[in-house]
Structure 1
Amino acid sequence: MAQVHLNNFVVCPFSIHTLLGFLYYCGKNETAEQISDALYLPNQRKKIPEVFRNRIAYAVLKEPTPHIFTIVNMLCLRPDFEIKDIYKRVATGCFGIEIYNVNFHRKGRTALEISKWVKKKTRKRIKDVINETDIPQHTYAILISGVSFQGRWRLQFPKRNTKEKRFFFKNPKQTFSTKMMEVTDYFNYSENERLRAQFLEIPYEENDITMTIVLPTISFQMGIFDAFTTKADFSKVTKDGRKLRINSVIQKTELRIGETGQIVPSSTQVFSVYKEVFKNYKSFIADHQFLYFIKSSAGILFIGKYCLPPPS
């Protein structure tokens, strides 16, 4: 599971961890050991479902809350693989994963059906989660994840300060015009000379949710192998004991940021923040590539990289 991203991307480790946690619970022998080592899961497998059930309930279902964090997970299998009822109950009740048998030979129709299901479950926030090119030949199973987050900044960016400014891509000569939000206030801020980066934490209204931006001051594989190969051993979950393997893990995430912090219909906007310390201002101008993550007490919800403004 290694891929180099040259463009903007965002992933939800919380959701991926949940999907792989279910695979660990279903796996046997070397397959289970590799997943356990990669995720640092305890060896007490019987307790795993309850651990994940509590994590999901805390992160997604806590009410009342000013934020909306929606996760939709599903496991799609070939029609000739029947899953034991106990694993179906655990998948739905503890991991929030719904299991369906689909016909992978009809790639276009199957991709459309999956996308419609995710779109409905996420209230139209996640569209086209999969297309027929994402379905390999001889597919056994695919894990699907759709994730959406909506929140409000505790300290909102005044809309009157949002202006068109330059965003630098690879060098000072390669720039793009984009909307830059700006605010002057008190924020958690740090600099690290060894990492050559600035760190800025922006809180959401929900007390334990924050976005941290890692801005450079100058312009590995997880270790899970067998689960996605013919060596995979998930035979204990199938009724006839046949070995099942996972062909793909597909996740689509919606995360758009505006002055209030809520999802906005226009292009994602970038940041210009000034940190005040004893009347000395620290400027934090995100006008070039940066990393960011959104975390809560339940764990890291999103990790992303912003490389360049999306097309208008």
Structure 2
Amino acid sequence: MVRSNQTSMVTEFFFSGLPELEDGNLLFFIPLLIIYIFIIIGNLIVFFAVRMDTHLHNPMYNFISIFSFLEIWYTTATIPKMLSNLVSKKRTISITGCLLQMYFFHSLGNSEGILLTTMAIDRYVAICNPLRYPTIMTPRLCTQLSIGSCIFGFLLLLPEIVWISTLPFCGPNQIHQIFCDFEPVLCLACTDTSMILIEDVIHAIAIIFSVLIIALSYIRIITVILRIPSAEGRQKAFSTCASHLGVFLMFYGSVSLMYLRFSATFPPILDTIIALMFAVLAPFFNPIIYSLRNKDMKIAIKKLLCLQKVFYASAS
């Protein structure tokens, strides 16, 4: 699987971060396929459960449904190509395909990060200013924030991808990662790559800024919850935040391991594990967290599944 250095322009990149499968009996392919199917079905269930249950038509659940919808496309940007590479001896991707994968994967990730920040602010207003919450988080503002998160997430990365597309690439063309990512691709450019450090700083600032906003919001939220006199009131207030807090820790924990290490280098196997946490495991646990930690969501999912059973029974 090793290719010699090339002096001509590279037309394809070769993934070298994936395990060999010839003797593995689909050991990696089958679990990854099952996880991907679960991510798609799980997030679709969460999305439709929120949309079809009128009791969940409020800002918090609206943000959860949008987040679940983004998760479907977030994983679709990388996992199908991983699956294809696992069963193919030709583990290549065109430069255009690589840039598109980077753009959609990170744009969707940015949108999710912005949406998580919005959700933290929503919980802050709901718990710290409950009387003003209905007048602040109106349906119109909720829609604007959801759409704005997606638009800003996609526009934020566009100049970066355009700049990378202008770089000349030549051999070696091996990407030491399981999907196209900034640093592995920039390392293949046959030109000055000092911009990698600037890229790392920009990403780090964006991540740290979002984490600080969410952390400060939850510090304030927890402070207010602890002042609630009744234990039942404290438990009810915290239960509305527990799911979001769990997803926040999962999402930004894996993102931080991936992009807040600057010049630190990890062994290839550790790089692959971190990438799997970031791109596969975090999206896998999100629908579980939202469905198991939320009583209203459980009820909505049961209603949705019962409705499906009735539909299929009547159709047959």
Tell me if both proteins adopt one fold, taking TM over 0.5 as the criterion: no
TM superposition score category, shorter chain reference: under 0.3
Higher strand share: 1
Between Structure 1 and Structure 2, which shows a larger proportion of helix residues? 2
TM-score of the pair, normalised by structure 1: 0.26
